[in-house]
Amino acid sequence: MLTAYKFRLYPNEEQQELFSKYFGCSRVVWNKALELRENYYKDHKNDKAKKGLNYYDTARFLKELKQKEEYKWLKEANSQSLQQTLMDLDKAFKAFFQRISKYPKYKKKSAKQSFRIPQHFNFDDGVLYLPKMGKGIRVEVHREFSRDKVKQLTITKTPTGKYFVSITVDDRKEVPKKVQITNEPDKSIGIDMGLKDFAVLSNGIKISNPKYLQRQEKLLKSRQRVLSRKKLGSNNRNKARLMVAKTHERIANQRNDFIHKVSTAITKQFDTIVIETLNVKGMVRNHKLAKAISDASWNRLLQFLKYKAEKQGKNVIEIGMFEKSSKTCYVCGHVNNDLTLNQREWICQDCNSQLDRDINAAINIRDFGLKQIGLNQIPSDRGEFKPVENPLTAELAKMRIKARSTSHDLKKQEPLQQQIAAEAHAL
């Protein structure tokens, strides 16, 4: 099983210059190979007999490129790192054709920079030795890993000027077998994602949305205004750009930390996690909600849940985006097609149950997911819970995550139903 570890690098000025050469060489090779594949497709798109270029074609192109006088400086970089760049480009095209990711883009010098090293590296007492680098580079190793099982390294530089090394380790352990899926309430959970609350769970827990972008928006706008007034190409503009990048980096780090903690707490407690797939790309077309939806990062929560559940042998089930989870009463199954977005609570016309919109959706998501794999018998008490101390709530509290257990006991609905009946009688 492959595991990645990320550590901070502290190169000196000489090493930073060498890194810049490596980043530049990898970026040029990527852009040149991408241009080659695009031109080849334009010239032969009407010829069905000829297919597009692959990694081996671009590798031969790289060999020819190094022989040219104006590109001889490519030899200063590790040849295997440049070959890895071509492999990454080939994987990007395959992912695009399989509709897994977007079309590969040209790399910019101002964006995140990276290159990979597959072998001939070494660690020794907090020092990393790389090929053609000479002196070792100081690295902050805050977690132990099996150094004899390292597969490859990836060196990255963020827009804020920080250097990191990502280490891929193969511990040679088999992926744990999936635990058996049951319909026990304590073993499975449904998650309804939203904007008011980041996530609502089928056991009545509501995790508050931290809205990190909204908190830093005033500072971000101020720094962006300063950046827009600086002269292009000046040192002051570069300083202003760095301040904007640091603000974005801080927001991203806060968001990732929050989602890591939430996903860890959920995967630790539950064996089966059911979540709804969302068309985020279509939802962000609503310009009134696009910023809030992007800030929530629902897809990232799904990604974190998947890889953490796989490592622990847990199950993640995705249901379709067109399931009527909010409009369906989880008690009797009645569908309220008249339910609008501003209605946070509603009463079922068939069984007169008072329903919290988000909790009802979370319970239905869980039930739909279990039925999807053939578990049709759902416990009758699955939706009745009281605001008592919940292990997950306590775990989230330790992580400083705001979460609350809400009451959703159907027996406490009589006063509200009587009030509605009285108003109807008065009319």
Distance (Å, whole) CA 372 – CA 181: 12
- Residue 384: its pLDDT value, please? 52
Distance (Å, whole) CA 241 – CA 235: 10
Residue 390 located in a structural domain = yes
- Residue 95: its pLDDT value, please? 93
In sequence order, the β-bridge partners of residue 3 are 169
Question: Which listed residue (197, 295, 356, 358) is catalytic?
Answer: 358
Distance (Å, whole) CA 203 – CA 365: 12
Residue 237 located in a structural domain = no
Q: Which of 119, 140, 170 is the last residue of a domain?
A: 170
In sequence order, the β-bridge partners of residue 273 are 189, 316
- Residue 383: its pLDDT value, please? 46
Nearest in space to 267 (alpha carbons), one of 197, 176, 371, 356? 176
Distance (Å, whole) CA 170 – CA 7: 17
Same structural domain, 298 and 345: yes
- Residue 421: its pLDDT value, please? 46
Same structural domain, 99 and 200: no
Residue 192 is a catalytic residue: yes
- Residue 389: its pLDDT value, please? 59
Same structural domain, 70 and 203: no
Residue 64 is a catalytic residue: no
Residue 252 located in a structural domain = no
Same structural domain, 129 and 199: no
Same structural domain, 364 and 286: yes
Residue 418 located in a structural domain = yes
Same structural domain, 333 and 196: yes
The residue ranges of DSSP E strands in 209-353, in sequence order, are 272-276, 315-319, 345-347
Residue 247 located in a structural domain = no
CA torsion angle 176 263 100 59 (round to 10): -70
- Residue 135: its pLDDT value, please? 85
Same structural domain, 301 and 341: yes
**First-to-last CA distance in the chain?**
67
Q: Which tokens belong to 324?
A: 């009527």
Element (H, E) at 270: none
Residues 6+ apart with CB under 8 A from 342: none
- pLDDT tens sequence across 156-197: 999 999 999 999 988 778 888 899 888 787 889 999 999 989
Distance (Å, whole) CA 30 – CA 375: 49
- Residue 110: its pLDDT value, please? 79
Residue 221 located in a structural domain = no
Same structural domain, 346 and 197: yes
Same structural domain, 145 and 193: no
Distances (CA, A) of 58 to 27, 83, 154, 398: 14, 9, 21, 51
Question: Which listed residue (276, 295, 356, 367) is catalytic?
Answer: 276
Residue 262 located in a structural domain = no
Question: Which listed residue (88, 90, 192, 295) is catalytic?
Answer: 192
Same structural domain, 35 and 165: yes
Residue 65 located in a structural domain = yes
For residues 386 and 360, is the Cβ–Cβ distance under 8 A?
Answer: no
Residues of the chain with pLDDT under 70: 49, 376-389, 407-427
Same structural domain, 116 and 198: no
Residue 170 is a catalytic residue: no
Please give the tally of structural domains in the chain.
Answer: 2
For residues 223 and 247, is the Cβ–Cβ distance under 8 A?
Answer: yes
Supply the range of the domain harboring residue 26. Answer: 2-170
81 exposure class (CB count in 10 Å sphere: 0-12, 13-18, 19+)? buried
Same structural domain, 348 and 298: yes
